[in-house]
Structure 1
Amino acid sequence: MSDAETDDAELAEFAGRLFDMARRGDVRALAAYLDAGVPANLSNGKGDTLLMLAAYHGHAEVVTLLVERGADVDQQNDRGQTPLAGAVFKGEDEIVATLVRAGADPYTGVPPAIAAATMFGREDYVRLLESAPVTGPGE
């Protein structure tokens, strides 16, 4: 194995550990890596960001950390999904509220969070998302 291949393998392993931290909710370790320069919008091969993984897996502290560190709350993965839609899908009330406060757009993504809330009969989410300080399509 060449030095470049070794470096690539080590980098992939390191990135994998970071994504696992987001999935597990390891806020302290992830904060240390962000402090050391890891980008808050780091994404994996599927386009999932640290924020997407933390939101989908229900880790409100990590979501808050990433939002505070400038993570893009509307960044879509390769399937067009957003962290807000993932949190709506999983019924993560605190995370949905955090992302809305951070300016997440309920009308972006596939499906948009507002559509997911409607589909799952979450009228509480629909009201929250409709009151979000963003504009809908065409506005």
Structure 2
Amino acid sequence: MFVIHVLQKETPLANAVFWAARRGNLALLQLLLNSGRVDADCKDSYGTTALMVASYSGHYDCTRELILQGADINLQRETGSTALFFASQQGHNDIVKLLFEFGASTEFRTKNGGTALSAACQYGHSKVVETLLKNGANVHDQLNDGATPLFLAAQEGHVAVIRQLLSSGAKVNHPREDGTAPLWMAAQMGHGEVVKVLLLRGAERDADRKDGSTALFKAAYKGHNDVLEELLRFSPSLGLLKNGSTALHAAVMGGNVHSVVLLLQANADPTLPNKNNELPADITKNERILRVLRPRMLNRES
């Protein structure tokens, strides 16, 4: 949530400018700025400006008035955020366009590496994403941890934004620094439609994180069966992974019977041990799961 803190100078007029910008009171804002007694770029103790507040709050007329009164469009808050960042985060496409008309830049970053594009993608504002890309936003932007706009959209399940980014050249397999790819994150979060789109656009089905787990392993553990079904259409590995376990072990550990059934139907081997020489049946006391596993185990052994 965006919070206005105590202003540095704590003048009544400056406080009134912020109040007017936050509430969208154009008449009061004009009266204050035309008085000549308060600057359009007055800031609070965190570097927040009235323009940032108006942009965040979606007040087009107040945003325009502040710009015409000389507010610096590209000033950064202490966190690195700009007016464009806030408007993009909140999905105010009319204000994003207005800021571009007066010279807003897409290149400014927050302390964690966030840009206006990454914010719009994380919150699923497809119209804003379109506007940002048309005005030079970099589809390959990365947060400090390596997360791209595509990764953030995949994490939150924003299919329309994902399609936009892929059509604009986003790399479908680009991972975070910990090795987590967009497909893995979408699978963990249970976003079946996102998983489908990523796979159709060339996502590596068996890409693993540094911990050795794959998208299939994570979906199996979480019991995201719609995701499992999408992944299984692309014949992912059902064998022993780098983490020393299998997706079937993960499904058993997760306790979801239907996940176990889906993997067995895809020919997952219930007699394949993990790195500790444990079969999937060895790591559960769930009778429903054991009743599903035992017949398959006997068939394999016979």
Q: Please report the TM-score for the alignment, with normalisation by the length of structure 1.
A: 0.80
Partner of 1:63: 195
* Equivalent of residue 87 in structure 1, options 219, 225, 246: 219
Pairs aligned (count): 131
Partner of 1:105: 237
Residues 13-32 of structure 1: CA distance to partner in whole angstroms, max 9, x if unpaired? 39443221111001111111
Partner of 1:117: 251
Amino acid at match of 1:12: Q
8 Å Cα contact 2:225/2:258 also seen in 1:
no
Distance, in Å, in 1 between the alignment partners of 2:269 and 2:164 is 35
Structure with bigger helix share is 1
The root-mean-square deviation of aligned C-alpha atoms, in Å, is 2.6
Distance, in Å, in 1 between the alignment partners of 2:206 and 2:197 is 16
Distance, in Å, in 2 between the alignment partners of 1:39 and 1:17 is 10
Partner of 2:163: 31
Q: Please report the TM-score for the alignment, with normalisation by the length of structure 2.
A: 0.39
Q: The residue matched to 2:142 in structure 1 has which SS?
A: helix
Structure 2: tracts of 5 or more residues without a match: 1-107, 116-140, 273-302
Distance 1:29 1:102, change over 3 A: same
8 Å Cα contact 1:51/1:83 also seen in 2:
yes
Amino acid at match of 1:40: V
Q: Which has the higher contact order (CA 8 A, sep 6+)?
A: 1
Partner of 1:128: 262
Partner of 1:19: 151
- Pairing 1:44–2:192 present: no
Q: The residue matched to 2:154 in structure 1 has which SS?
A: helix
Distance, in Å, in 2 between the alignment partners of 1:32 and 1:134 is 36
Partner of 2:208: 76
Residues 52-100 of structure 1: CA distance to partner in whole angstroms, max 9, x if unpaired? 0111011111101001101111111111010011111111010011111
How far the C-alpha of 1:101 sits from its partner, in A, is 1.2
8 Å Cα contact 1:67/1:73 also seen in 2:
yes
Distance, in Å, in 2 between the alignment partners of 1:83 and 1:38 is 20
Q: The residue matched to 1:12 in structure 2 has which SS?
A: coil
More deviation, 33-42/62-71: 33-42
Amino acid at match of 1:117: A
Pair member with larger Rg: 2
Structure 1: tracts of 5 or more residues without a match: 1-5
Amino acid at match of 2:142: A
